[in-house]
Amino acid sequence: MFTMDHKILRKLQMVELEMLAELDRICRENNISYILDGGTMLGAVRHGGFIPWDDDVDVRMLRKNYDRFCEICKTQLDKKYFLQTYQTDPGYRWGYARILKNGTAFKRKGQHRMTAKNGIFIDIFPDDNLPENFLGKITCTCISWLSRKLLYSEVGALNKSRFISRIGFKFLNVFPKEWGHKGFEYLTKKYRNSSTPYIRCLSWGAKFEAKGFLKKWHTETAEYMFEGMKVPGPADASGYLSHIFGRDYMTLPPAEKRNPGHTADYIDFGEEV
């Protein structure tokens, strides 16, 4: 049985740091803006690097920067890595990109049947405009929620513990996963030119769907130290982190909650790093 001990976790973090450095190189060379997201940003502020028990790296980009980044990666991404999107990998079901390290494996619990290319990864989330009016927010919330559930249905149909949830996901899994991607594409195009101070992000789910995030957290940035390298994040780090984690974000959680966010059944580092 696989166990994520401290030694393996730290090795995983160093591979992810290597991929973050590659992303940062491409972005700086091409004047593409990005920010650290969620626990990665919290780690930079609270720990100067990874949260000791964190097992992933997340970054965010406004849609126009995300699209440029994905296009540039076709020619500038180091061959050690693979940019995974639903356009580059037919088996990939999510609406955001990943950088995978070739020759590695990171098999998450409950996702063994997925046909997508597998490997140690970092996540890259695109942020789209979110309308200010109530009806627009409700429309975005409903389409985004349904699209996300449809894409997750292959996993949920096999792994949800509640019977009614499994039945619901099995029903959704009958429909082509492309419908989920089409839903997100529709929202991107519909609000691409909207003038709004808010953005909608894929990574934080229904809790923040209609609430949104402030666009200024993308446009007003500062440099933070993360494992010895300087990386960009919202200048208003307190406002951003409080929005996600609450005002006491600097307080460590109880010891029993200091666990990796992804349950891995198997990790293969490939060649030694």
pLDDT in tens, 71-87: 999 999 999 999 999 99
Q: Is the pLDDT of residue 272 over 70?
A: no
**Pairwise CA distance, residues 248 & 228, whole Å:** 25
pLDDT beyond 80 at 224: yes
Question: Alpha-carbon distance 242 to 240, whole Å?
Answer: 6
Task: Check pLDDT > 80 for residue 258.
Answer: yes
Task: Determine contact, residues 126/96, Cβ cutoff 8 Å.
Answer: yes
Greater pLDDT, 130 or 224: 224
Q: Which residue has the higher pLDDT, 193 or 63?
A: 63
Answer with the residue of higher pLDDT: 58 or 188.
Answer: 58
Give 194 or 97, the one with higher predicted confidence. 97
Q: What gap in Å lies between CA 232 and CA 221, rounded to an integer?
A: 6
| Whole-number average pLDDT of the chain | 88
Could you tell me which residue, 41 or 154, shows the higher pLDDT?
41
Are 110 and 159 in contact by the 8 Å Cβ rule? The answer is yes
Q: 103-108 contacts: CB < 8 A, separation 24 or more?
A: 103/270, 103/271, 104/15, 104/267, 104/268, 104/269, 104/270, 105/266, 105/267, 105/268, 105/270, 106/12, 106/262, 106/264, 106/266, 106/267, 107/264, 107/265, 107/266, 107/267, 108/262, 108/263, 108/264, 108/265
- C-alpha 88 chain-centroid distance: 17
pLDDT for the residue 69 = 98
Distance CA 121, CA 262 (A): 12
Select the highest-mean-pLDDT range: 27-31, 242-246, 251-255. 27-31
Q: Are strands 121-129 and 81-84 parallel, antiparallel or unpaired?
A: unpaired
pLDDT tens for 109-124 read 666 667 889 999 999 9
d(CA 260, CA 173): 28
Please report the pLDDT score of residue 80 as a whole number. 96
Residue 40 pLDDT more than 80?
yes
The pairing of beta strand 221-226 with beta strand 81-84: unpaired
pLDDT category at 209 given cuts 50, 70, 90 is: low
pLDDT > 70 fraction of the chain, expressed in percent and rounded: 89
| Domain range summary for the chain, segments of one domain joined by + | 6-268
Cα–Cα distance measured from residue 38 to residue 40, given in angstroms and rounded to the nearest whole number? 5
In angstroms, the CA 263 to CA 110 distance is 9
